[in-house]
Amino acid sequence: MNYRHSFHAGNSADVVKHSLLIALVRALQQKESALTLIDTHSGCGIYDLEGEEAGRTGEAAQGVVRAFADANPLLDDYRAAVRAVNEGAEPRLYPGSPRFLAQLLRPQDGLILNEKHPEDAYALRGAMRDTPAAVHERDAYELWLAMVPTRTPRGVVVVDPPYEQTDERAKITATLAAAHRKWAHGVTVVWYPLKERSNHAQWKHKLRRLGIPKFLCVEHWLYDTDQPGIYNGAGLFIINPPYAFTQALPPMLEALRAALAPEGHRGTLTAQWLDG
């Protein structure tokens, strides 16, 4: 599955991913000690929802547009973060994960971004020029291992690849295992698209065999049954989520599910420990 950020900006997966990233980082910031936030596949940083690539798919209509039309206050932080890069009330520009993370920085925190694609890396530097972010142009998996453990007492690694390569999941599995050996207490977030339940179950089985404790699996299935050959939803693997985040998660997930459910479908948005 090819999942370049620019084609899918502001879709339902982005709404869930970015809402939960905000909640996760803020839960970690309940402690004063510094955080290093690392995004291994940063993309362009900001996207024009009326541009050629996002306009070709029109997926924002089922994502950020629905989130803005919903009245649930649990989505207020997400909407505020999107509004921060827009002049008008309705979103035309959509912030990628780097811009969401930059908005969350405290003076003691740091932000490390990485994008291997040369054109996207150039765009990323422009999008982040008003922030203190350090931008790299390296292999994502090499950077992931090189940057952990973080220099600050705590950190978060966000792994959000386009899944263009057939071995992407194998690379994630191997790098996650190696990174956990170096940085067992670190927080890691891995985003993934969902296409077929059977194939995804096989990957989860391989990840379960790594024996990593505190491995949370958040899955958003948009449709009540698999729709063959299309994108069916997305999920997040979260290693070592803080207690404050997991306690606040159920009502947030229900708010997101309700806001994003396609017409005629209820869908599911659940969180379960991988060893459960």
Catalytic residue among 39, 160, 167, 224: 160
Task: Establish whether 160 is a catalytic residue.
Answer: yes
- Placement of tokens 């039309």 in the chain: 69
Residue 93 confidence (pLDDT): 95
Phi, psi of 190 (to 5 degrees): -115, 120
Note the pTM of the prediction, 2 decimals. Answer: 0.94
Going by the DSSP 8-state scheme, the letter that residue 261 receives in this structure is: P
Beta bridge partners of 154: 35
Distances (CA, A) of 3 to 7, 160, 164, 191, 265: 8, 10, 7, 11, 24
Q: How many CA atoms lie within 13 A of 131 on its CB side?
A: 24
* Burial letters 155-183, b for 16+ CB under 10 A, else e: bbbbbbbbbeeeebbebbbebbeebbeeb
Domains detected in the chain: 5-273 (3.40.50.150)
**Tens digit of each residue's pLDDT, the chain (276 residues):** 444 566 789 999 999 999 999 999 999 999 999 999 999 999 999 999 988 776 666 799 999 999 999 999 999 999 999 999 998 778 999 999 999 999 999 999 999 999 999 999 999 999 999 999 999 999 999 999 999 999 999 999 999 999 989 999 999 999 999 999 999 999 999 999 998 777 889 999 999 999 999 999 999 999 877 666 667 899 999 999 999 999 999 999 999 999 999 988 899 999 999 975
